[in-house]
Amino acid sequence: MTDGTVAALAGKLVETPSHEDEQRAGDLIEGWLREHTDAAVGRDRHGNVIARHEVGESAGGSDPTLALIGHHDVVPPDERQVDGEGYVVERRDGRLHGRGAADMKGAVSAAMLAFRDVDQEGLIFASFVGEEVGGRGARAAIADGFAPDYAVVGEGSTGYSAPGVTDVAVAHKGRRASTLVAEGRAAHASEPDKGENAVYRAGEAIAALRELPAPETTVLGHKMQGSVVVTGIEGGSAWNVVPERCTVTVDERTVPGERAPLPDLPGVRHELDQDLPPMACHDEAFAEDVLAAAAGSQDGDPEAVLKPHATDAGWLVDAGTTCVVCGPAEPGEAHTATESVSLDVLDRCREIYRRTAKQLLG
C-alpha cells in the first residue's frame, strides 16, 4: 500500500477525500493496520477506526493503557485542492501539501507507524470521524465505553515556543457558542412608547457582556485566559417599525473549570449553539514523560504550552482520560487553501509517539 514511510502513508491518506464521507479514508486506515500489525483492529458503528495491542491475561488488566488519537475527517477543500475524485497532493520544499496534511492526516499516519513499531500490550490507536463537526466520533466512542488511561492527541503543537519546535500542549481552550435572543413588542416607529424595543434590550445584554471578566485558570503553572466576544447582531424588520426581536451571537473561549456568567436580563433568553470542552492535563508526571520524548526526538528545546483551539482531547478528559496534545501542524496551517506539513516533523512525531509508548508501557 505504501513504502512504509510517514510521507508515503500520509500522502495516500491525504489524497483520499473525507470531508463529506469518511468511509474511504477509514477503509485505508483499517486495511493498513490489518496488513501491517497483529493488533485487534475494528471499525465501530460510527465509523471510528480503533486498534489495540491487547493486554494479556497475565497482566490482569492492571497495567496502564495509552491511546494515540487522531481524526480522519477534514473540512471542505478549496477548489485548488481537488483533482477529479481525489485531493491534490504535492511534495515540495520538504513539505507535504494538501487538504488534511496538517489537520490531521499527517499526524494520523505518524501514529499508525508508531503503533506498528511498538507492539506493546496496552497501546491503542484511534482515528475518529466527525471531529470537525463537534467531535461526533469521539463522543460516540466514549459513550460506547472507549476509556484509555492516557492519550496523546496528535493535533498541532509545533511552532508554539519557537519556530519548528514540536512542543507538548498541556491544556487548550474550549468554545461555547451562544445566541442571546432579545424579545420585545412591535409598534410603529412614530409611537415608540407603545412598543418594547428588542434592539435596546439586546444593547443592554451587550453592555453586560462587555463588563464580564475573562475566565482564567492555571494549568501546571501556566496561566490560561479565555474570552467573551460578541460576533454578530441582527434585528428589526423595517425602518419604521420598533423591532420585536433581536439576536446577538456570542463566542466564548472557555478554560478548564471556569465559565463566564452570561447575563440574565428581562426579555433576553440564552440559546446554546455549541459547547466544545477545554482540556487540562493535571498529571505532571505524564506531561513530563511526553515532554522528555519530544526533547529526545529533536534538536530544539520543546516546552509545555497552551493551545488556543479545542480538540477531541476535551471530550476524552471529560470522560476521565489523562491527555496531552502533541502533533506536527503549525499555527495557521489548518483549514487553509495552502495547507501543508513538514515531512521532517512527521518523522519526528512518529518518534515522539514511539518513545512515549515505550516509556509508559515498556
Which domains occur in the chain, in start order?
Answer: 6-173+278-361 (3.40.630.10), 174-275 (3.30.70.360)
Residue 231: closest CA among 208, 247, 211, 212: 247
Q: 124, 66 in Cβ contact below 8 A?
A: yes
Q: Is 315 exposed, middle or buried (0-12, 13-18, 19+ CB in 10 A)?
A: buried
Terminal-to-terminal C-alpha distance of the chain: 29
Q: DSSP letter at 105?
A: I
pTM for the predicted model, two decimal places: 0.92
**Which amino acid makes up residue 284?**
E
Contact between 70 and 108 (Cβ < 8 Å): yes
Question: Which cell numbers in the block locate residue 288?
Answer: 513530563
pLDDT bucket at 120, cuts 50 / 70 / 90:
very high
CB distance 327 to 156 below 8 Å: yes
Helix then strand then coil, % of the chain, to nearest 5: 30, 30, 40
Share of the chain above pLDDT 90, in %: 92
pLDDT band at 89 (very low <50, low <70, confident <90, very high): very high
Write down the residue that cell numbers 526533547 correspond to.
295
SS3 170: strand
Q: In angstroms, rounded to a whole number, what is the distance separating the alpha carbons of residues 256 and 172?
A: 8
For residue range 272-328, what is the model confidence (pLDDT) as tens digits?
999 999 999 999 999 999 999 999 999 999 999 999 999 999 999 999 999 999 999
At residue 266, does pLDDT exceed 80?
A: yes
| pLDDT (tens digit per residue) in 50-68 | 999 976 554 455 789 999 9
Backbone torsions φ then ψ of 233, nearest 5 degrees: -145, 140
Strand pairing class (340-342; 95-97): antiparallel
Whether 299 contacts 164, CB under 8 Å: no
Q: Would you state the pLDDT for residue 260?
A: 86
Taking all residues of the chain, what is their mean pLDDT, rounded to a whole number? 94
